């Protein structure tokens, strides 16, 4: 066994025995790249990626076309890096099954946060609830600003009707990292509420998410829930 192969085996064995505890970011990325680049030392590429993007989190959240601009990152490596974040988001959202009862803003916020994990672009998510605040369905309906109201509102209404919602919670992310609602966010919230009200569904809240933080428009006093909304103030 070559020195290089021995190093790979030691790193893999260390992970299998102890997880990632004690790994630095370079070793984590080096280990990941083993599975996209089977016959080359991946340590220099891991170092180059960290120097280019500044942190492991930034590497894992980088778009594939940007990753591909780093010398040595081929299609397989870019796909694997992007898969890592997408798989984490998929796992986190599937851990929280439908049927949960979300009777507070805090529970809704914690339920919705994983939906936006690692997303670098804006996305609009709708949470469908029955009359007892039980989750019927939760889905990202479109990518892009929630303020592109024509497409977003139509999809939100269709989703509410298809899932038999009594109430809906709207959510979207601010990739800038600041969860503060904009004037457009507030205006769009009222447009969505009116469209849902027309089909007999109450908009309970609009939650803005940025990283691990979120702000409820209802709690902030920027949106007044209708009386038939199921989530208490």
3-state secondary structure of 140: strand
Distance from C-alpha of 159 to C-alpha of 182, rounded to nearest angstrom: 25
Res. 2 pLDDT band, cuts 50 70 90? low
Distance from C-alpha of 177 to C-alpha of 43, rounded to nearest angstrom: 31
Q: What is the mean pLDDT of residues 8-20?
A: 89
Q: Decide: pTM greater than 0.85.
A: no
Distance from C-alpha of 60 to C-alpha of 118, rounded to nearest angstrom: 8
Q: What is the pLDDT of residues 185-233, one digit of tens each?
A: 999 999 999 999 999 999 999 999 998 899 999 999 999 988 777 675 4
Helix (H) or strand (E) holding 136: strand 135-143
């Amino acid at each position: 066994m070559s020195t290089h192969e021995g190093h790979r085996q030691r790193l893999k064995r260390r992970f299998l025995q102890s997880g990632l505890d004690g790994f630095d970011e370079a070793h984590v990325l080096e280990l990941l790249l083993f599975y996209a680049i089977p016959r080359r030392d991946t340590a220099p590429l891991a170092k180059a990626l960290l120097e280019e993007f500044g942190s492991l989190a930034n590497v894992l959240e980088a778009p594939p076309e940007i990753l591909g601009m780093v010398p040595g990152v081929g299609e397989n490596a870019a796909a694997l890096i992007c898969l890592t974040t997408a798989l984490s988001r998929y796992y986190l959202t599937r851990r929280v099954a439908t049927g949960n009862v979300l009777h507070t803003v805090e529970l809704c916020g914690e339920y919705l946060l994983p939906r936006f994990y690692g997303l670098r672009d804006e996305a609009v998510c709708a949470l469908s609830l029955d009359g007892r605040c039980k989750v019927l369905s939760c889905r990202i309906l479109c990518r892009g600003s929630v303020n592109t109201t024509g497409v977003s509102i139509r999809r939100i209404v269709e989703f509410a009707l298809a899932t038999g919602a009594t109430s809906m919670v709207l959510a979207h992310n601010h990739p800038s990292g600041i969860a503060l609602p904009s004037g457009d966010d507030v205006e769009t919230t009222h447009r969505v509420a009116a469209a849902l009200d027309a089909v007999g569904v109450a908009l309970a809240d609009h939650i803005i998410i940025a990283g691990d933080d979120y702000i409820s428009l209802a709690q902030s006093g920027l949106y007044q829930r209708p009386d038939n909304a199921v989530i208490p103030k």
